[in-house]
Structure 1
């Protein structure tokens, strides 16, 4: 039996906790042997979303194979937030010193830093907190814009949904990729992402503008990802001239419609390759004629 113990911090994000907890509890349905428990400095821990969470104030004695997870809390800053007692932080440190693995989600990385576990290690956190984490722990190497980082039995993730990616990775390592894939399917997770995948997808990075014409062009490209779309066709569908579409699209996204489609295709192909597809199969699945173009775009 492997215990997965979540250390709950006041203001904890529900998804930071619930995502990994769901992964490990679902893994039990596929033959994994996990027991989940929840501890904190008080018996009732308020979540940021307003749901009070029950916790044990008794910090258990952990075995080497047990996993300790610190979910993140909602805050625009790290300093002065995430209250944890010296006793709890010493317990986190002691588990790692005895050979155990410690993980964090989002702002939870700050708790690991206060426990002295980030010095000399690679780590990450939510992109809004990376600068501050770097300032607070100058001896750590903060890896930017990735989903999770594992270094010396310390695993840190970007936050919110990336906690699911972190937990699936740990299940894959401990129980095999087939169990992790089965858990991802039962959780209806789109794809099990690699740790070095970017925190923001192509869609998120280039959809933050407010130009409705460009949004309509993007809708067409995304719904017809594998089609050969001409600029003339996109212009016709939006009721604009080709020149106007090019100008508006470039101003809103910093790229042409063709480059946007290529970026989406490459990102989708990376997911397929990560799930075991060959480069050739992935290239053809996303709309490239063969793997040569995909290889060129990936190399950039």
Structure 2
């Protein structure tokens, strides 16, 4: 049962905390077992919006499958010195050294920078803080005007509501795009926000349309992307002919249903490979008969990025 630990800093923004916490809480309600913890250097944290929040002083025991997230707080973030003590910074470094993932929302990136976790890595933050973050942490590569950035198990997001996008991404990585879509629907949030194409998920990138039929079919593909899905069955599920589905899908997403499924498989396989799986193992887990098709699709994707 994985844990997510939220590290609370004085004057934190409520939505920076509440948005991601709701995403993981909803995932737990749907049967994915997340346990949420809130830790701080003081038992009571006063938020920027005036609501006090209670936190624990003692951290739970964490393993590589657990997440740590630092919500942001009211800017300017570091005018009064370091945001956290060296003891907290060392806890973040130690979790990352042991294979864990560290994430931040908005100005929470400053805590990651203080811990040295942004050195040599790509990162982002609120658009109003990007220049200051780059100035303070010169070894970091600040990517501007994107929703979130992931680099070697350090994940940073832009301002305030983008923490929800970040949390949905983390859920999609752990549990697949269908679970992330279910969580988004439970939260009644717009799960189709587009950011930088290199950073967003396949699910988000191809959901910015208004076709109910295509969304319905995408829901099925998201849930069963590792299975062999016949076009005839997808069309029947959507209540249209195969010809109508193919045309509508292309108009809405720019892809055929098969290419959409292949994109989901390739993205999921890439995450598995980054987590230590071999190419052959990742290919089998996402539904490819062997690694040849996966290698071909990944090569095509890399070529498209550099074109």
* TM bucket, shorter chain: 0.5 to 0.7
Aligned twin of 2:40 = 40
User: How far off is 1:84 after superposition?
Assistant: 1.1
Q: Secondary structure at the match of 2:150?
A: strand
Which residues in structure 2 correspond to 1:43-82 (within 5 Å)?
43-80=43-80
Distance (Å, rounded) in 1 between the aligned partners of 2:47 and 2:76:
16
User: How far off is 1:75 after superposition?
Assistant: 1.0
The count of aligned residue pairs is 215
Distance (Å, rounded) in 2 between the aligned partners of 1:44 and 1:196:
37
Which residues in structure 2 correspond to 1:262-273 (within 5 Å)?
271-272=208-209
User: In 2 relative to 1, CA 60–268 (structure 1 residues): closer, same or farther, beyond 3 Å?
Assistant: closer
Aligned twin of 2:85 = 85
Distance (Å, rounded) in 2 between the aligned partners of 1:82 and 1:53:
21
User: How far off is 1:282 after superposition?
Assistant: 4.5
User: How far off is 1:195 after superposition?
Assistant: 4.9
Asked if the contact 1:9/1:82 (under 8 Å) is kept, the reply is no
Aligned twin of 1:111 = 111
Distance (Å, rounded) in 2 between the aligned partners of 1:192 and 1:5:
26
> Gapped runs of 5+ residues in structure 1?
199-266, 284-300
What whole-Å deviation, never above 9, does each CA across 1:254-291 have from its counterpart, x for those lacking one?
Answer: xxxxxxxxxxxxx99772399758442347xxxxxxxx
Aligned twin of 2:236 = none
TM-score of the superposition, structure 1-length normalised?
0.67
Asked if the contact 1:78/1:132 (under 8 Å) is kept, the reply is no
User: In 2 relative to 1, CA 188–51 (structure 1 residues): closer, same or farther, beyond 3 Å?
Assistant: same
Aligned twin of 2:251 = 280
Aligned twin of 1:158 = 158
User: How far off is 1:197 after superposition?
Assistant: 6.3
Asked if the contact 2:77/2:83 (under 8 Å) is kept, the reply is no
Distance (Å, rounded) in 2 between the aligned partners of 1:43 and 1:130:
31
Distance (Å, rounded) in 2 between the aligned partners of 1:44 and 1:194:
36
Aligned twin of 1:187 = 187
User: In 2 relative to 1, CA 113–188 (structure 1 residues): closer, same or farther, beyond 3 Å?
Assistant: same
Distance (Å, rounded) in 1 between the aligned partners of 2:205 and 2:67:
32
RMSD of the TM alignment (CA)?
A: 2.5
Asked if the contact 1:77/1:129 (under 8 Å) is kept, the reply is no
Asked if the contact 2:125/2:159 (under 8 Å) is kept, the reply is yes
TM-score of the superposition, structure 2-length normalised?
0.65
